[in-house]
Amino acid sequence: MTAVDGLVVGGGDDISPMLYQGEMLAEARLDPRRDALEQRLVGQALDLGKPVLGICRGAQMLNVAAGGNLHQRAYDHYADSRHYRTILPRKDVAVLEGTGLASIAGTAPMRVNALHSQAVDRLGTGLRIAARDGGGMIQAVERSSPPFALGVQWHPEYLIYAHRQRALFRALVDAARH
């Protein structure tokens, strides 16, 4: 990990509830080896002061690695949150003022995509909420102090044509340079 300047943790299958004392769901697709690897990498990156960008599952892993937990069936818990399951930008999220995400992408509502079934429940140590959707579901988390760590519930790599989405990657690169 010392030769790495920054870490991106991408999307994928659900994170095993075994990592955060959740309940095992029969329909969940899990990859315990990936879970263990990513949890270790995120923990090491933060311990070494390396910046982290979590995308979808990666945002959830950032939270779990910091000691938080997840809603396994997020849309059951947040009945007023729209579940689109598309790479197209159809979901609106509100970026909270005073956050790092706001300084990166502004506070105007963001139109994003949504492919996730899990979402952050209890925040991990050192994390704060950076964005929510209209139903109250957490859509972004971030560290409130260095090193840079941002987790977004959407997939900005599919929205790279939007300058606010590119800014997320630029922020990771800038943090890695420092």
Per the structure block, which two tokens stand in for 63? 């939270």
Radius of gyration of the chain (CA): 15
Q: Which of 56, 71, 116, 142 is catalytic?
A: 56
Q: Which of 8, 107, 99 is nearest to 62 (CA)?
A: 8
- Told to judge if 157 belongs to the known catalytic residues of this protein, a careful annotator would answer yes
The backbone torsions φ and ψ at residue 23, rounded to the nearest 5 degrees and listed phi first, read -95, 135
Report d(CA 67, CA 14) in Å as an integer: 17
User: Between helices 32-47 and 57-65, what is the axis angle to 10°?
Assistant: 60
Q: Which of 38, 71, 116, 155 is catalytic?
A: 155
Q: Which of 97, 116, 157, 178 is catalytic?
A: 157
Helix (H) or strand (E) holding 35: helix 32-47
- Only one residue has tokens 């956050």, namely 99
Report d(CA 20, CA 175) in Å as an integer: 29
- Told to judge if 155 belongs to the known catalytic residues of this protein, a careful annotator would answer yes
Report d(CA 81, CA 83) in Å as an integer: 6
State the catalytic residues. 56, 155, 157
